[in-house]
Amino acid sequence: MVVFGTDPLPCLNFPQRSIVHDVAEVAGLVAHSFGEEDVDRHIVIWKKEQQPCEAELNCLRAGNKWDPVAFERTRAAEEVERKEDEERAKKRKREKFVPKTNYQVG
């Protein structure tokens, strides 16, 4: 199946998909194949200026539906956690280690 916008076309075999990929490249478009070979393998084509981010591609490759709102929430939460980790690391560096003894014999 080829999806361009919202119009799906029938599933294509490997040589046909290869031709579509080549034509898309020549036309200045971005094409990616998704799904399992001989089951539901299909091509999605985007304009170069509207191509998906790497996270969206990974989501589609995993067979999931892309949800940009959920992605943004997750990304924001990860950013907050990363900043908190950096702050904890800075705080640990500032704390001076003081041994309980001076470990001197005598």
The residues that bridge with 2 in the sheet, in sequence order, are: 43
The residues that bridge with 32 in the sheet, in sequence order, are: 44
Indicate the pairing of strand 42-47 with strand 2-4.
parallel
Indicate the pairing of strand 2-4 with strand 29-34.
unpaired
Residue, of 95 and 56, whose pLDDT is higher? 56
8-21 pLDDT, tens digit each: 556 788 898 899 99
Q: Give the global pTM.
A: 0.59
Please count the residues of the chain: 106
As a whole number, mean pLDDT of residues 70-83 equals 93
Query: What is the maximum span of the chain, computed from C-alpha positions, in angstroms?
Result: 87
**Residue-range domain boundaries for the chain:** 1-64, 67-95
The yes or no reply on domain 1-64 and CATH 3.30.1370.50 is yes
For residue 22, is pLDDT > 90? yes
> So what's the pLDDT on residue 105?
67
Indicate the pairing of strand 2-4 with strand 7-8.
antiparallel
| C-alpha to C-alpha distance for 8 and 35, rounded to whole angstroms | 14
